[in-house]
Amino acid sequence: MTIDNNEDPFDHALPDLPPLVDEESNFPGTGLLMLEQLPGLETVKKQIREIVQFAAFEKKRAGMLGTTVKPLTLHMSFLGNPGTGKTMVARLLGRIYKEAGLLAKGHVVEVDRQTLVGAYMGHTEANLVKYVKRALGGILFIDEAYALYKKDSSKDFGMNVIHGLVKIMEDYRDQLVVIAAGYRKEMAELIDSNPGLRERIPFHVDFPDYSGEELLQIAEYMALQDQYKLSDDAKEALLRLVQREKLDETFGNARTVRNLLDKAKIRHAARATEDPRMESAFTTLEAADFSDDPHAVDQDLDDALGELEQLVGLEQVKRLVKQIVDVLNLEKNRAQFGLNDEPVTFHMAFTGNPGTGKTTVARILGRIFKVMGLLPRGHFVEASRKDLVSGYVGQTALKTAEKVKEALGGVLFIDEAYALNGRGREDFGKEAIATLIKEMEDRKGLLTVILAGYTKEMEGLFQLNPGLRSRVRFFIHFPDYTPGELVEIVRQKAAASRYRLSEAAEEKIWNRFLQEWFKAGSDFGNGRLAEKVFEQAKLRMSERIARLEGELSEERLSLITEEDIAAE
């Protein structure tokens, strides 16, 4: 493919970008210095510095030897997730290469599949020629370049672009730099699909996701462009939002931060309109601007603790949960003075018989941890052996990691965790435990694992797996409910469904629970037994009401009597 040079190739070139810093500042405007100003991207900066240093060295060497500088092949792939700075660096790179004498113009022409691929034969080639003409002397930046390659369609017109690019990248390597950008995995498939393309791209630059601190720097810079600053509480609120958003596979790094800032500015304007006396109205974004409801945090914590308090019995469990809340408050206050250490971990073991409230308390803890900033989402994912263990070598680790991924940002509750101990040397439960131990260590601040089960069996699990025990910070025992507590559970369930118990019915229920409690073993149903008694009572009541003669009343339809309670 050849380019007709009769037409000035720069007629349609994109204009140079505005500088990244205020023009009135004293900051030097060279591209390399502007690149250094960007948050993070240390590997990217190092690679580009080395290329520029090499070009300068070759120019000096040619001058010393009296030879001609050979044109460099500078085509690149930029690999990484959205919002990691690929486009911005490409634009700066044009300026850097122009200043280093590697490109005549240094402008950047941005294209993608939609721009290049035509709808009919010959249209694609014409599009490619048109945009290459515009880019000569600068950079042709192909965003989401992997979209040009369709694995299952050899006749797709995107292949025409790839084949055309291979020749252009060779023929015009002294006048043009092609940068193909996109996700790592998909870009690897594109580059491997064509050996000629692979040979013509000598530089592969990885753009990692930004850290929380780097995203905060980006947010402060973006806010400053609109003459805003972030209060300390606003920074903390923004970091919590970013943590939660980072768990989404579509996380957009700097783009996500920009969207969060835009929403915060809209909320800020609404608050300032309601209260014109706000001193910070025109200059400072506050934590309230990063929340749909500024009072929601306090309300959510009160609601979660209130729900915990409403649970029947479990006094020791409640005390321990409140101690955990106190620990979180202490860590939060220490952080304000820069005294925070490593991320706090709250992996736990819940021991006790079935129906003692372990699952309910785990759900409440997820909400508390979210409100207090320990977990980004606070959602609840329940799992058992069958969700973690596979029957094939190597599959258990993948299955366990997938369940952990589902729970990231929240609570992973593993019921009957002792079953992972396995039943022999060939059992894959040990592989699940090894994977869990690694994930519990690596995902600090992003995951709370709660291992639950019978007391004796859980002790056996930890004795055989000291590495697992060492990562569990809290051991909470859930005792069996007393007969009186079980009666209270039935009373609460009845009230929630707009029923009530007669005194005789309550006494009969109490006597039944007392009998069950005295002969109780590890299979004692606890709360599940209370649920069963209540459901049986409603069924027997419906049969009794069906036999009644005369007019029905609210009293008759609400009162559970002694007759409705089964003896066993």
Q: What is the pLDDT of residue 70?
A: 81
The answer to whether 297 and 304 have CB atoms below 8 angstroms apart is no
- Count Cβ neighbours within 10 Å for each residue of 383-421 and write b for 16 or more, e otherwise: bbbebbbbeeeeebbebbbebbeebbbbbbbbbbbbbbb
Is pLDDT at 66 greater than 60 in this prediction?
A: yes
What residue ranges define each of the domains in the chain, with the CATH number in brackets?
Answer: 30-206 (3.40.50.300), 212-290 (1.10.8.60), 295-477 (3.40.50.300), 483-547+554-564 (1.10.8.60)
Q: What is the pLDDT of residue 74?
A: 92
> What is the 3 state secondary structure string of 121-156?
CCHHHHHHHHHHHHHCCCEEEECCHHHHCCCCCCCC
Q: Confidence class of residue 336 from pLDDT cuts 50, 70 and 90?
A: low
Distance CA 334, CA 68 (A): 63
Is pLDDT at 121 greater than 90 in this prediction?
A: no
Q: What is the pLDDT of residue 197?
A: 93
422-479: per-residue pLDDT in tens? 766 667 888 999 999 999 998 888 899 999 999 999 999 999 889 999 999 999 999 9
Can you tell me the mean pLDDT for 172-194? 93
Q: What is the pLDDT of residue 56?
A: 84
Is pLDDT at 3 greater than 80 in this prediction?
A: no
What are the C-alpha distances in Å from 57 to residues 63, 138, 354? 10, 21, 73
273 vs 386, residue with greater confidence: 386
Q: What is the pLDDT of residue 7?
A: 43
106 vs 329, residue with greater confidence: 106
Question: Which two three-digit tokens encode residue 362?
Answer: 């785990």
Mean pLDDT estimate for the chain: 85
Is pLDDT at 24 greater than 60 in this prediction?
A: no
Q: What is the pLDDT of residue 344?
A: 72
25 vs 533, residue with greater confidence: 533
The answer to whether 352 and 461 have CB atoms below 8 angstroms apart is no
Please report, rounded to a whole number, the percentage of residues in the chain having pLDDT higher than 70.
89
> What is the 3 state secondary structure string of 76-125?
EEEEECCCCCHHHHHHHHHHHHHHCCCCCCCCEEEECHHHHCCCCCCHHH
- Count Cβ neighbours within 10 Å for each residue of 504-523 and write b for 16 or more, e otherwise: ebbebbeebbeebbeeeeee
436 vs 22, residue with greater confidence: 436
Distance CA 225, CA 23 (A): 12
Phi, psi of 341 (to 5 degrees): -105, -135
Q: What is the pLDDT of residue 293?
A: 52
Which are the contacts of 515, defined by CB distance < 8 A and separation ≥ 6?
Answer: 568
Is pLDDT at 522 greater than 80 in this prediction?
A: no
Could you please report the per-residue DSSP string of 376-439?
SS--EEEE-HHHH--SSTTHHHHHHHHHHHHHTTSEEEETTGGGGG-SSTT-THHHHHHHHHHH
Can you tell me the mean pLDDT for 539-561? 88
Q: What is the pLDDT of residue 12?
A: 37
The separation between CA 25 and the C-alpha centre of its own chain, rounded to angstroms, equals 37
Whether the full predicted model's pTM is greater than 0.85, yes or no, is: no
294 vs 386, residue with greater confidence: 386
**Residue whose pair of structure tokens reads 């090894």 in the numeric block:** 434
Question: Which two three-digit tokens encode residue 338?
Answer: 């820069």
Can you tell me the mean pLDDT for 350-355? 92
Is pLDDT at 399 greater than 90 in this prediction?
A: yes
Which are the contacts of 424, defined by CB distance < 8 A and separation ≥ 6?
Answer: none
The closest of 479, 472, 469 to 318, measured between CA atoms, is: 479
Is pLDDT at 26 greater than 80 in this prediction?
A: no
